[in-house]
Chains A and B, each alone.
Chain A
């Protein structure tokens, strides 16, 4: 029975072998499928079982959550058997996104672990596993190549599916014919015992599509502005679309000097290194089991159930750690494709996306127009501030600065491109526009950009991060080629200084100080922040999805420049550990600093302020 094969094989961990063999556990496995699920329990063998609906995608969650449990129970981290991202076994902890695991799941796991021990949460001074650099538990399997990502999984009797795709970007399926073609709505695909056979059949199949044209980039940006809808104030949502104080319009009218700036962002790809894949199988009981590499197993379950006309509880999603996510692996896509083919064929079917599929059929970080309208008092202080983000989203709208009157707005629009989540989402564009605007004022007023920022910042931790970063960098006032940026994003305080040079343009060094409160795993935190800063280089300087009037032209990694070894500067990334302050999530914030700091450096080198991402560096 294919379904059983899936289950028996699906995790390497000893605990799951026990589970599949039906050996008894303190709480029967089925109970984890019921309404109330536990995060932590003591198993019959005396060891600790832990469960979370969150997944690890390289941000070190298996390690961090194991640390949480170990810390409260006073056991070695390796003793914790953590099951992640299995909708039958784990609680729904929400999708793995938005840097929420540290503020939400960490306390939940700790609380449940403390409850098993029957004791209150341990105070920071009693921490044993938390607050120290714990090596990534996946490490030994990663370096030997033994670690299994979804794309490495094979089950007996597995068939392979191929999806028929249009050349055009916005296309509806009109007809699909050919031997073995399975059609449902806009989906048409084929499966066969081997990938070669499936591909051969797909090559012979005939599909016709009706497509809609695509607007040029400039037209799309103009339409964002023409069609954008003003935000309605709502502070109950995670990302309020309107954050304001006082009366920005009135303050603008009375400002001593004003400035309007407009920034644009190109759509970009996540380009996680592992292309997505899924294996789907219907059991004899009619239940559908899917192994995949997604960040939000319960969201995928709901979407698959809907697409297949099934009850959510009849669908089981089991996540294998994805080889990179960055927001591109949240929604169902390849899972539904595999499920449709599995249903039609009665086989276990695997579908894998090619790199071109990843580029075209996933979704992009949204293109955007971001306008700032700002004014200063005679003293030079920024007193009125209006920031309008069209299309990118509301994250990161709140300024870290003390502007007397401000209005920060997300204007939603209808985008012609598939767009969705991305590491930090709109916070990158918002910080690029905000920091560039502040930097522009500093330059106009002939003020030092660090001193000018500090003059507007009340938050002591952000001030400290800026001052410490300046010191580590050796910042002694303005120097050609030096730029800086800061942010207070999702409770993380960060400051970045960069130094660049021309002919050819290159980044020489970066110094970053990051304060996320308690550093629960300092080495991993450093790795995350450093990685996010580096990822930010691509979006700042080169990354851009290209389209013509009907199709996406960017389909290959060869034509999409991401940061490589020779692009990465010398880096000093320092983590401030504030043990007594609740830890904030840190997987995203770093990426919001890179572009504005580089923009400031480029401005200092060329006298031309970059107004778009990716930026063009023009020789002066």
Chain B
């Protein structure tokens, strides 16, 4: 066990992390942030995506120790002051999910994209989210939702 300090959804926390622990397990088991989902645990499905200093990362293959001193944002940290993030609202509006298991990772991944590219075109969204699996086949609606949210965010 080693002490690990990082900022999680805006709050600085220090906790114990086992040597070699992955970020996903620290989030889910250590902090109870179960919105971050395990799907493959090998970096290929995207359901565990979180933002580390604003960049989308697969928490299942991210060593917990590597986020020391950094800012980690999970799906639970996207809404502000009780108001849904525009991406969350757009996913609701387009019903861009079925079982919803991929959704938190998808939304966080899309937030990472919009941080880099404020007006992503259809192809940019598809490319950026290609590392995310939606086994239920909600991709067309997800693309629509992400583009609609980007538009809302551009307009401020």
Contacts and interface: CB of A to CB of B under 8 A. Distances in A.
A142 B38 contact: no
Contacts of B107: 143
Interface string A384-400: 00000000000000000
B127 A566 contact: yes
A135 B34 contact: no
B143 A565 contact: yes
A535 B137 contact: yes
A402 to B, nearest CB: 32
Interface residues of A, number: 54
Given A196-B18, A558-B42, A135 B137 contact: no
A32 interface: no
A577 B10 CA distance: 48
B118 to A, nearest CB: 20
B92 A58 contact: no
Contacts of A481: none
Contact of A139 (B41, B95, B127, B131): B95
Contacts of B37: 149, 151-152, 273-274, 323
B99 A273 contact: yes
A568 interface: yes
Contacts of A323: 37, 99-102
Nearest to A135: B95
A597 interface: no
Interface in A119-158: 135-136, 138-140, 142-149, 151-152, 154
Which of A58, A136, A272, A564 counts the most B-chain CB atoms under 10 A from its CB?
A564
A568 to B, nearest CB: 4
Contacts of A85: none
Contacts of A136: 95, 97
A355 B40 contact: yes
Assign chain B's interface to a size class: 35 or more
A324 interface: yes
Nearest to B35: A145
Contact of B137 (A139, A274, A532): A532
Interface in B56-115: 74-76, 78-79, 84, 88-89, 91-92, 95, 97-104, 107
A272 B95 CA distance: 19
B39 A528 contact: no
B102 A273 contact: yes
A188 interface: no
A83 to B, nearest CB: 19
B31 interface: no
Interface string A262-285: 000000000111110000000000
A144 B44 contact: no
Contact of A273 (B32, B129, B135, B141): B135
Contacts of A530: 137-138, 140-141
A274 B136 contact: no
A562 B44 CA distance: 11
A152 B37 CA distance: 8
Given A274-B99, A322-B99, A565 B139 contact: yes
Interface in A531-547: 531-535
Contact of A557 (B39, B97, B101, B125): B39
Nearest to A528: B98
Given A144-B76, A355-B41, A564 B133 contact: yes
Given A138-B100, A145-B76, A275 B38 contact: yes
A528 B18 CA distance: 42
A139 B92 CA distance: 6
A531 B98 contact: yes
A524 interface: yes
B44 A58 contact: no
A531 B44 contact: no
Nearest to A321: B99
Given A273-B45, A556-B40, A563-B137, A324 B99 contact: yes
Contacts of B55: none
A354 interface: yes
B130 A527 contact: no
B95 to A, nearest CB: 6
Contacts of B132: 564-565
A364 to B, nearest CB: 16
Given A271-B135, A565-B143, A527 B98 contact: yes
Contacts of A18: none
Nearest to B75: A145
B46 to A, nearest CB: 10
A524 B134 CA distance: 16
Nearest to B132: A565
A369 to B, nearest CB: 27
A568 B98 contact: no
B95 A524 contact: yes
A59 B98 CA distance: 6
A368 interface: no
Interface in B23-49: 28, 32-42, 44-45, 47
A297 interface: no
B45 to A, nearest CB: 6
Contact of A534 (B79, B88, B129, B137): B137
Nearest to A147: B100
Contacts of B129: 565
Given A273-B101, A274-B39, A324 B136 contact: yes
A370 B138 CA distance: 31
A557 B135 CA distance: 12
Contacts of A143: 84, 88-89, 91-92, 97, 100, 103-104, 107
A495 to B, nearest CB: 18
B39 A142 contact: no
A564 to B, nearest CB: 5
8 smallest CB-CB distances across A and B, nearest first, come from A145-B35, A323-B101, A58-B99, A531-B137, A534-B137, A142-B100, A145-B75, A58-B98
13 contacts: A58-B97, A138-B100, A142-B97, A142-B103, A143-B91, A143-B97, A146-B76, A271-B135, A273-B101, A273-B135, A325-B99, A528-B98, A557-B39
Given A142-B104, A354-B41, A527-B98, 11 more contacts: A144-B78, A145-B35, A147-B100, A152-B28, A273-B47, A273-B133, A275-B38, A556-B44, A557-B39, A558-B40, A558-B42
